[in-house]
Structure 1
């Protein structure tokens, strides 16, 4: 039986932003701040420093990962979880770490899917950052809503388009996924999702 309670969402915090930083300066600062408790991102000369997420963030992140991996196994994907691996490009003036990421077939150079669980406000433009990193699909979970963006070529340019269903994880029921993310009890959420996947 599905619980009516949902995961509590804490008050949003804003990151620290430092503008006018070269890539070289960013890399030097990154080494100095290589300590637990902070996550650094960079885009077009702007350094973003966020505190590492708390329990609510980690709960949602791990719930999405568990449900998605169950679906990928059931649907027969030959996938590799790449977690919050560092994605960066000096020529693109960008560095970002997703909350979760996945290669959805063997031999991929970069993840096919990046997932962001948003509990903060402001900061660098995440869509622009991932576009420069050539990540085909992004999922953003924020305040109980899941938005999906797919990278499209329009003329000579690339841009993300908001879509209603995943093009990388074909067949996944995003409404069901979202309902199960919101179930407070982790085991109940997984069982509910697993039962719905059975033929």
Structure 2
């Protein structure tokens, strides 16, 4: 078993283990069952255990509030899925996205997933979401929102195909606001 530890400036850390079976994954998850702020990602025998920082949670919530404000303002029917556990033993994959949405109708697999990235390494998140069949994935990292669209494989795109009128540069500016309330209020004014 290989262990890799990464700790970032914002108190998030990540441990990566390789050679983990599905039954070991389930036992490890059960051992952490009552511990808040810990999440797991598993793909083909690689297990990543992550702690989340207040900065991570703030960014995740701000992105969610901004996206929901945008979709409401534009009359786009959506269903916030939050962080549902995706994957199965058969797919040898399991993970919870930071935020996820279905557009138009509820579906088992989200149409859009958002991940806030403060650590590097760990499992290949795009490979995970490709296996799940998620059409569009966004990564918020280092003050940038990078979007990927699933075709044969994921391709980086400059504009969301699910929300084609969403100005990603404008959205990113408001994600970086220090005050969440002001960010959402001013973003709504900007998109009206």
Question: In structure 1, how many angstroms separate the alpha carbons of the residues matched to 2:117 and 2:42?
Answer: 17
C-alpha distance in 2 between matches for 1:43 and 1:176: 34
Runs of 5+ in structure 2 lacking a partner? 1-7
What are the superposed Cα offsets for residues 86-107 of structure 1, whole Å, 9 maximum, x if unpaired? 1112222111111100011214
Q: Which residue of 1 aligns with 2:83?
A: 84
1:40 maps to 2:40: yes
Pairing of 1:113-192 with structure 2 (within 5 A): 113-153=112-152, 159-192=153-186
In the alignment, the residues of structure 2 paired with residue 77 and residue 47 of structure 1 have an alpha-carbon distance, to the nearest angstrom, of: 36
Identify if the C-alpha distance between structure 1 residues 181 and 113 changes in structure 2 by more than 3 Å, giving closer, same or farther.
same
Deviations 1:14-36 (A, max 9, x none): 51112111222212222222132
How far is the alpha carbon of 1:141 from its aligned partner? 0.3
Rounded to whole Å, the distance in 1 between the matches of 2:37 and 2:177 is 28
Distance 1:44 1:27 in 2: 14
CA RMSD, Structure 1 to Structure 2 (Å) = 1.6
Unaligned runs of 5+ in 1: 1-8, 154-158
2:102 matched residue in structure 1: 103
Note if contact 2:10-2:53 (Cα within 8 Å) is conserved in structure 1: no
Deviation at 1:73, TM superposition (A): 0.8
Contact 1:99 1:115 in 2 (8 A): yes
Q: After TM superposition, what 4+ stretches of structure 1 lie above 2 angstroms from structure 2?
A: 9-14
Task: Check whether the contact 1:14–1:121 (CA below 8 A) recurs between aligned residues.
Answer: no
Give the TM-score, by structure 2 length.
Answer: 0.90
CA offset at residue 183 of structure 1?
Answer: 1.6
- CA distance in 1 between counterparts of 2:106 and 2:10 reads 40
Q: 1:114 & 1:10 partners in 2: Cα distance? A: 25
CA shift, 1:177, in A, is: 0.2
Q: 1:81 Cα deviation (Å)?
A: 0.4
CA deviation vs aligned residue, 1:36-67 (integer Å, no higher than 9, x gap): 2311110010111111x121111111111111
Q: Distance between the aligned counterparts of 2:68 and 2:77, measured in 1?
A: 11
> Partners of 1:83 and 1:138 in 2: how far apart?
14
Instruction: Answer whether contact 1:39 1:50 (CA < 8 A) is retained.
Output: yes
Moved more, 83-92 or 97-106: 83-92
